[in-house]
């Protein structure tokens, strides 16, 4: 954590005000991208499975 503190020393007395929302936004973006990617993979797998069953 000292490296993170060193990055935000110039942010004033409360660096958490900048760090916390930034990390929350990054986590939100990461998980929305993962959720979207998983959804398309599952849809493709389901379509493939249905096509295999119909043969």
* 23 occurs within a structural domain: yes
- What does the pLDDT profile of the chain (55 residues) look like in tens digits? 666 666 666 556 676 778 899 999 999 999 999 888 777 777 888 888 999 988 6
* 22 occurs within a structural domain: yes
What pLDDT is stored for residue 27 in this prediction? 96
* 39 occurs within a structural domain: yes
Structure tokens at 45: 């797998």
* 8 occurs within a structural domain: no
Domain containing 25 equals 18-55
What pTM was computed for the model? 0.47
Eight-state DSSP code of residue 13: S
């Amino acid at each position: 954590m000292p490296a993170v503190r060193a990055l935000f020393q110039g942010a004033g007395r409360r660096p958490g005000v900048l760090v916390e929302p930034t990390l929350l936004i990054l986590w939100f973006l990461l998980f929305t991208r993962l959720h979207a990617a998983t959804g398309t993979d599952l849809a493709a797998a389901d379509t493939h499975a249905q096509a295999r069953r119909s043969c």
